[in-house]
Chain A
Amino acid sequence: MSARVGLVLVFAGLAACGAPAASNADRVGVGRAPTAAELAVLDRDVGPDGTSLPLGSGTVAEGAVIFAAKCASCHGARGEGVPGTPYAQLIAPRIAGDSFPFGTDPSRPKTVGTYWPHATTLFDYIRRAMPFPAPGSLTDAENYAVTAWILAENGVFPRDGTLDAARLRTLKLPSAGRFVTDDRAGGPTIR
């Protein structure tokens, strides 16, 4: 970014926020601007609005094959996990009436079908971190497929379904409305 553009943006920033933005002279002035190519590699996160979801799609059936090959060794063939280990349970039956008994029952498994508020989180997390021994090794299509299979096994996506950006973006999970702002604020009241 040229110095001139930078300066114009400083003023834009000042006007916009009213916050004191460092002038050229105040700035430490180290570092460099990232290139678009660098950002494309680094910035792959997917938020609940799903706007940054990649192209591609995958079916539940394809996901079953991928899960058996690349995930089941740790998470179990049916995603049941290994109790007492970090090998998380990924799949559990939906809770009757989609109730949310976790506050009174710590033994309930917290899966994407019972607990997680956003389906985009599953895609984002698998892309970041799974499969554990080779994170980031799935193609986007494989990630859609395995995400679709986990969602379907949790009963929140049709078994004959195909997942893509549009579908994932609009998929509503049973527990979406369960999360509330932290009301602890110090003071004498225990919350």
Chain B
Amino acid sequence: MTRLSRRALLGGAAGLAGGALLRGLVPEVEAQAPTAPLQPPIDPTKAPGAPTTAVGARAPGEVALRAPTGEQAGNSLTPLHRLTGTITPADLHFERHHAGVPAITRAQHTLTIHGLVDRPLVLSVDDLARFPATTRTYFIECSGNGRAAFRKPTAAMTAQQIAGLTANSEWTGVTVRDLLAEVGVRRGASWALAEGGDACLLARSIPLAKLRDDAMIVWAQNGEALRPEQGYPLRLLLPGWEGNANVKWLRRLELGGEPWMTRWETAKYTDPLKNGTARIFSFEMDAKSIITAPTAPTVLPARGSWPITGLAWSGRGRITRVEVSTDGGTRWQEARVDGASNPKAHVRFTLPWRWTGGEALLMSRATDETGYTQPSKRVLVDVRGAGTDYHFNPIIAWHVASSGEISFAGDA
């Protein structure tokens, strides 16, 4: 039997021989698989199908799951290597919590806006829905995304493990600009403390200029109410800025003249530099890309056409170019970019590729509208120092062996 990827095995096994083969061959997949047993093969054209249901479910055998799970102060990562397109299913949007997911009902939740404002306000979620709503597509990326791959790379790492702390959604809510006009900003205000209603009252100081620019307070994601783990019922959305500042379960915005220097903007989410300083309030996410297919744990079963595809994004605006190399960065080819007109959103890139059976080193690098091009790890370390923390956006490389096996080849 040709060596197949886990994914190909999964799909093939489900279609051909049912779950027994699957269980026998790939124990680690079984651990991941949905609990519903796979149906024995039937000819779907010879009997009527299943009736309608209240909520849809994924097709049996389609395995896309966040991992790891069970953390209260920790994260679960988006399975980038199992997804296509650009919108992340809301239930697969990565999580990063500092004190678990709070149980909050819509009726009980309010947002208080106070401090240096003329008319302090307590708003219910229903009150917010009376403001004109806006719908926009933006990515969120944790600024720690890529740390594990940067510090402790291993060949078996998947795109999920390397870069799964990013996701892309269509968000609906109100612009903070409209809310600020409603409360009236007083002279002297230049920052706001955004505070969540979770068990650590997570709080970040946000420059007023960002709140007046493109910040939103959102209540919906991909057309439905926010998921609890994404901040239900209200989340601050700061397009292009590090995930932590996009405060979930938002309960309070206090306007003031100075930043509060909370733990999440001092002890954490600051970036030490080799010159003995550390960047503070380093909000923007630099341009980045990752090939999502073909990548580990895929094993290419045959030579021929294997389109290279992946995601690119920039916190500073539009992606203008994505280049792909198949020879470890000697030659670069421009990939086709879909959806590049959406600033601060994931775009998908694709480059046709024929695998001729030899070794290859696949890489991608993104350029954004400011002219910034995703650097190599060597350049990042050179500029910032080996202790650089957060904002890891080096070029990511995948090694294709002549056996067809694909493995993470480290940040290039």
Contact = CB atoms under 8 A, between A and B. Distances in A.
Interface of A: 1, 6, 9-10, 12-13, 16-17, 19-22, 26-28, 30-34, 38-39, 42-43, 45-49, 86, 99-106, 108, 110, 112, 115-118, 120-122, 124-125, 128-129, 132, 135, 178-188, 190-191
B99 A188 contact: no
Given A13-B118, A30-B127, A48-B258, A105 B387 contact: yes
The residue among A9, A13, A118, A190 with the most chain B CB atoms within 10 A of its own CB is A190
30 contacts: A6-B119, A20-B181, A31-B122, A34-B112, A39-B120, A42-B112, A42-B251, A43-B252, A43-B254, A47-B256, A102-B387, A103-B272, A103-B273, A103-B384, A103-B387, A103-B388, A104-B385, A105-B386, A106-B386, A115-B278, A116-B267, A117-B280, A129-B263, A178-B276, A180-B273, A180-B277, A184-B391, A187-B372, A190-B375, A190-B380
Interface in B184-221: 184-187, 193, 195, 199-203
Interface in B238-257: 251-252, 254, 256
A179 B73 CA distance: 26
B203 A128 contact: yes
Interface of B: 71, 73-74, 98-99, 112, 114, 118-124, 127, 130-131, 151, 178, 181-182, 184-187, 193, 195, 199-203, 251-252, 254, 256, 258-263, 266-267, 270-284, 286, 316-317, 368, 370-373, 375, 379-380, 383-389, 391
B350 to A, nearest CB: 25
The residue among A34, A104, A108, A116 with the most chain B CB atoms within 10 A of its own CB is A104
Given A13-B184, A102-B278, A125 B262 contact: yes
Contact of B99 (A17, A112, A122, A132): A132
The residue among A38, A112, A122, A128 with the most chain B CB atoms within 10 A of its own CB is A128
Contacts of A106: 151, 386-389
Contact of A13 (B186, B200, B284): B186
A130 to B, nearest CB: 8
Contacts of B99: 129, 132, 135
Contacts of A103: 272-278, 384-385, 387-388
B276 A100 contact: yes
Contacts of A31: 121-124, 127
A99 B276 contact: yes
Contacts of A1: 119-120
Given A121-B262, A129-B201, A188-B371, A10 B383 contact: no
B387 A48 contact: no
A128 B271 CA distance: 24
Nearest to A124: B262
B379 to A, nearest CB: 5
Given A33-B122, A43-B252, 12 more contacts: A6-B119, A17-B185, A28-B131, A39-B114, A101-B276, A105-B387, A115-B278, A128-B201, A132-B99, A181-B280, A182-B271, A186-B317
B87 to A, nearest CB: 25
B195 A45 contact: yes
A17 B266 contact: no
B261 A13 contact: no
Contact of A47 (B202, B258, B277): B258
